Amino acid sequence: MIGKEKGAEDKCPSCKGTLVCREVEYKGESKLQWQYKDKEVAHFSYDFKTGKTACKESSDVPKTGTVNTSALQKIDLTGISIPEDQKQQIITASQEAAERLFCVMYGVQLAAEKVKADVYQTGMAFNQVCENRRDTV
């Protein structure tokens, strides 16, 4: 890989993906970081125990990004004894509830960015907002 220079592009030696070197702020200090070209997320993980850096795409580190829900296995409801019209009502209500939760999640993410909350703090805030909504709904 070439040396880190803001705006530089290079290929990951492990997965061959295109990376961009971007400036990020960490604990009040600016540093350069190799990130995915299509999203501002670190491409490499750092193992504090070994002191080694590894490509997230070719390691056992959980990958960041989105899940392709169309690739998920669909549940077969044909064996369930609930009448079809009731199944559809449940599915519709559940889908709406999930969409509302995604709106809540988005709002929590926006607030978390303002205070530079980490993923654990953001998750705790999301859980608390959901708990508070339960009490008011």
14-60 pLDDT tens trace? 888 889 889 988 788 888 888 888 888 888 887 777 777 788 887 54
Res. 111: pLDDT tops 70: yes
Q: How far apart (Å, rounded) are the C-alpha atoms in residues 55 and 11?
A: 11
107 within domain boundaries: yes
Res. 1: pLDDT tops 70: no
The pTM (predicted TM-score) of the whole model is 0.45
Q: How many domains does the chain have?
A: 2
Residue 79 shares a structural domain with residue 43:
no
Q: pLDDT higher for 2 or 60?
A: 2
3 within domain boundaries: no
46 within domain boundaries: yes
Average pLDDT for the chain: 83
User: What is the arithmetic mean of pLDDT over 91-113?
Assistant: 93
Residue 83 shares a structural domain with residue 114:
yes
67 within domain boundaries: no
Residue 93 shares a structural domain with residue 51:
no
Structural domain span for residue 42 = 9-55
Give pLDDT, residue 92: 94
| Burial (CB count <10 Å: 0-12, 13-18, 19+), residue 10 | middle
The length of the chain is: 137
4 within domain boundaries: no
